[in-house]
Structure 1
Amino acid sequence: MKQLFLLLCLPVLVLAQSKKEQRLLKKADKIHARAYTVDTHADVPINMLEMESFDVGVKHNYNEDGTQIDFPRMKEGGMDAMFFAVYMAQGKRTPEGDAEAKQKALKIFQAIHDAVKKYPETAELVTTAKEGFVAHKKGKLGVFIGMENGWPVGHDLSNLKLYYDLGLRYITLAHSFNNDLSDSSGDPQGSEHGGVSKLGEQCIAEMNRLGIVVDVSHISDSAFYDVMRLSKAPVFASHSSCRALSDVKRNMTDDMIKLMASKGGVIQINFVADFLKKPSEEVAISIKTLRMQAMKADATPEDKKKINAELRQLKYKFPGEAPSVKTVVDHIDHVVKIAGIDHVGIGMDMDGGSDVVGCEDVSKIKNVTIELLRRGYSEKDIRKIWGENTMRVLAAAEKVAKELNTKP
């Protein structure tokens, strides 16, 4: 009799659960539409330059070409603004190498500017929090610019003003290898400068003066603490995650997150699989081998495309290891617990390694909002996570720059 009663109640329970889910989804739709959503690290310029068939103004298909970002999918997903990355792998640290890096950087800047000019009704180049909000009110996507790897700065700090005038608003001091500004967390040779170099110190001072945010993603632990000592403006980690949940050097320790937060900074959670969830030894070796191949100076666009496809296939070979949207929000939860709601944001690293089940491309970002809502985050909290915290840091950098430039 008891079993019969439970069977009769089951349809009612399912219907109630279904209605509850529908209400949650409707609420998520409204919150997501009202929030100003900002992603601090997007590698779509790589596709813009290296894929002949790629047009950022045309909708592409992740399952067909592996790309994750374009203007139509940003609109579809409700992504209001992204920091397009001026990225390049570290090359030769010589005068000739520096000159080549500068020219490559300028080419990427030009590609970003050209894309925005090609679609003026859809997107707008923005450089301040205020400009971002204004573009949003006009119904346009905001394209900010960040630089991943300070190599193109070279030894001529006047390059910072050149890049600033082109729209640059943050610099990741180093990438996967040490450069002349800073030690990297990933260089197999270990520390070279003991943190930030003397040139790096001068670079940070000039970045503060101009209003360029210092990005601590990728740099070594010692370099991070140097930045915290040196920067007069709040900093952020444009695409990093929590070392407490995935013990890899690219992630930030609790102490680092707390210190950065105490000075007004933000950690933007990275969606790269092994930064969210530490892989097994077998998968870790596969990932490291493939990434090292992609970072070789002589790797062609076709090589990189093949390597990225192989990286994506790992989640099918090892399905139990693939992180989901829930894993992303686990990292957000952790930051909120140790540092507070004002110090976490989103930096997905799409088109640069992002690989999360449920958020395969930018059109699916609302799934993050849904999961945040499921865990009890308020609309105010969600708005902070999706963009307001990042915009606060950008505005703070502007304020510090103004103060530094008005001092007698």
Structure 2
Amino acid sequence: MKTAPSPPLIFDAHLDLSMNAMEWNRDLRWTVREIRTWEQGMADKPDRAHGTVTFPSLREGNIGVVVGTQIARYTKKNNAMPGASWNSPEQAWAQTQAQLAWYQTMEENGQITAIVDNKSLDAHLANWKENQQTTPIGMIRSLEGADSIISFQHLERAYESGLRAIGPAHYGPGTYAQGTDAHGGIGEKGRELLREMDRLNIILDTTHLCDESFWEALDHFQGAVCASHNNCRALVPHHRQFSDEQLRVLIDRDAVIGVALDTWMLTPNWTRGVSTPEGENVSLETVVNHIDHISQLAGNANHAGIGSDLDGAFGTEQSPQDVDTIADLQRIPGILASRGYSEEDIANICSLNWIRFYRAAWD
């Protein structure tokens, strides 16, 4: 009897795991169903009882490597940007250290294993291939928004503890760069940060950089660049997405662009608080539209990947309608195949592009 082929390995380049654990108080060792049941009736977060990501669901979807973020935004007194943030960079730093402690505790608990270089990456991939059911999930650590970096001594400490990528900005104006819904370049502080990142070989994640900061950052950074969770402005005309010109320059720099599953980034018709995935007919087919657009720009399937951002302060209420848990990322290979992508292309998009990217950055 012929056995069914195993599902392809998936590498998800952006998950806010520690934020969910430390701010949403979710024990990610539980199943998605258990967390949804526990959260019934809660209203403090918009996605309560709609979460999609836990360690069991990652394992179910053969999502064996992830980039887990630390995130703590600092907002100055005169900054009217909405959303959760801290009133000083010291508080933001302390929050990232609590998140780091959670990652380290989950490693001690056998849920994850830290990936910090090619040796640990290759060892994890070999272990996962041999025994997916018991091997801890491989995790590379990234910082989303650099406002918590109080000094470059703090940056060195973060690197020594395993930080390997940084997105200098998040939403609004920042200390080192300007993010989504803001304007302007990176300034001298941003240029100093990029020099230190170059020195330490920390990857630049261009996600969330406003246009001016994006171009200035690329002019001043010599190392490896990526866009961990970014979609296409040609399909969704909003500055949170990247234009074809930006995508092309990333492709020229051997970057990988991970498509995100937040529905407002997938369709131009989304109205926050009003639209629904079903009403706008947003599905994983829509996600593949963005993957395909990146691949068409590149002329190959070597620069598109997955950076789902699932449970990034949203749940099923703002995810593609055919996503119940993150394990449903395994629907993407079939959609790609139906559009004529080869097995090699599908493997590249699901994981190999990101694996090659990190290997080259660490070589």
Place the TM-score, normalised by the shorter chain, in its bin.
0.7 to 0.9
Alpha-carbon distance change, 129 to 346 in structure 1, aligned in 2, over 3 angstroms? farther
1:2-401 matches, cutoff 5 A: 26=4, 29-30=5-6, 32-33=7-8, 35=9, 37-52=10-25, 54-61=26-33, 64=37, 65-92=49-76, 97-118=88-109, 120=110, 122-139=111-128, 140=135, 141-154=137-150, 156-187=151-182, 191=183, 194-280=184-270, 283-284=271-272, 286=273, 314-315=275-276, 319-339=278-298, 340-352=300-312, 353=314, 355-399=319-363
Deviation at 1:39, TM superposition (A): 0.7
Alpha-carbon distance change, 96 to 254 in structure 1, aligned in 2, over 3 angstroms? closer
Deviation at 1:138, TM superposition (A): 1.7
Q: Supply the distance in 2 between the matched residues of 1:397 and 1:208 (Cα, whole angstroms).
A: 11
What one-letter code is carried by the residue in structure 1 that aligns with 2:149?
Answer: V
Q: Supply the distance in 2 between the matched residues of 1:50 and 1:242 (Cα, whole angstroms).
A: 30
Deviation at 1:244, TM superposition (A): 0.3
More helix by share: 1
Q: Is the 8 A contact 1:93 1:180 kept in 2?
A: no
SS of corresponding position for 1:238: coil
Q: Is the 8 A contact 2:282 2:321 kept in 1?
A: yes
Q: Is the 8 A contact 2:231 2:266 kept in 1?
A: yes
SS of corresponding position for 1:116: helix
Of residues 389-398 and 156-165 in structure 1, the stretch that sits farther from structure 2 once superposed is 389-398
Give structure 2 stretches of 5+ with no counterpart.
38-48, 79-85, 129-134
Q: Is the 8 A contact 1:325 1:367 kept in 2?
A: yes
Deviation at 1:51, TM superposition (A): 3.8
Q: Supply the distance in 1 between the matched residues of 2:311 and 2:140 (Cα, whole angstroms).
A: 16
Q: How many residues align?
A: 331
Deviation at 1:393, TM superposition (A): 2.6
Identity of paired residues, percent?
Answer: 24
Q: Is the 8 A contact 1:78 1:365 kept in 2?
A: no
SS of corresponding position for 2:279: helix
1:80-125: CA deviation from partner (whole Å, max 9, x where unpaired): 111111112332389971111111111111111111211x2x4311
Q: Supply the distance in 1 between the matched residues of 2:227 and 2:259 (Cα, whole angstroms).
A: 8
Give structure 1 stretches of 5+ with no counterpart.
1-22, 288-313, 400-408
SS of corresponding position for 2:179: coil
Deviation at 1:359, TM superposition (A): 2.4
Deviation at 1:320, TM superposition (A): 2.6
Q: Which runs of 4+ in 1 moved over 4 A?
A: 93-96
Look at both structures and tell me which one has the larger radius of gyration over its CA atoms: 1
What one-letter code is carried by the residue in structure 1 that aligns with 2:100?
Answer: F
1:161-205: CA deviation from partner (whole Å, max 9, x where unpaired): 111122111111111111110111313xxx2xx311211111111
Q: Supply the distance in 2 between the matched residues of 1:243 and 1:66 (Cα, whole angstroms).
A: 28
Q: Supply the distance in 2 between the matched residues of 1:131 and 1:101 (Cα, whole angstroms).
A: 29
The TM-score, its normalising length taken from structure 1, stands at: 0.76
Q: Supply the distance in 1 between the matched residues of 2:323 and 2:74 (Cα, whole angstroms).
A: 29
Alpha-carbon distance change, 329 to 96 in structure 1, aligned in 2, over 3 angstroms? closer
What one-letter code is carried by the residue in structure 2 that aligns with 1:132?
Answer: L
Deviation at 1:78, TM superposition (A): 0.9
What one-letter code is carried by the residue in structure 1 that aligns with 2:127?
Answer: K
Deviation at 1:261, TM superposition (A): 0.6
1:13-49: CA deviation from partner (whole Å, max 9, x where unpaired): xxxxxxxxxx9x95xx53x34x3x2111101212211
Q: Is the 8 A contact 1:213 1:233 kept in 2?
A: yes
Q: Is the 8 A contact 1:87 1:147 kept in 2?
A: yes
Q: Supply the distance in 2 between the matched residues of 1:384 and 1:350 (Cα, whole angstroms).
A: 21
What one-letter code is carried by the residue in structure 2 that aligns with 1:81?
Answer: V
SS of corresponding position for 1:179: coil
What one-letter code is carried by the residue in structure 2 that aligns with 1:357?
Answer: Q
Q: Is the 8 A contact 2:74 2:148 kept in 1?
A: no
Alpha-carbon distance change, 208 to 391 in structure 1, aligned in 2, over 3 angstroms? farther
Q: Is the 8 A contact 1:90 1:175 kept in 2?
A: no
What one-letter code is carried by the residue in structure 1 that aligns with 2:102?
Answer: A
SS of corresponding position for 2:223: coil
Deviation at 1:224, TM superposition (A): 1.0
Q: Supply the distance in 2 between the matched residues of 1:279 and 1:165 (Cα, whole angstroms).
A: 44
The TM-score, its normalising length taken from structure 2, stands at: 0.85
What one-letter code is carried by the residue in structure 2 that aligns with 1:184?
Answer: G
1:253-305: CA deviation from partner (whole Å, max 9, x where unpaired): 0010001111111111011101111125xx24x37xxxxxxxxxxxxxxxxxx
> Aligned residue for 2:132?
none
SS of corresponding position for 1:240: coil
1:117-166: CA deviation from partner (whole Å, max 9, x where unpaired): 11x2x431112344233223223210221111111113x11222111122
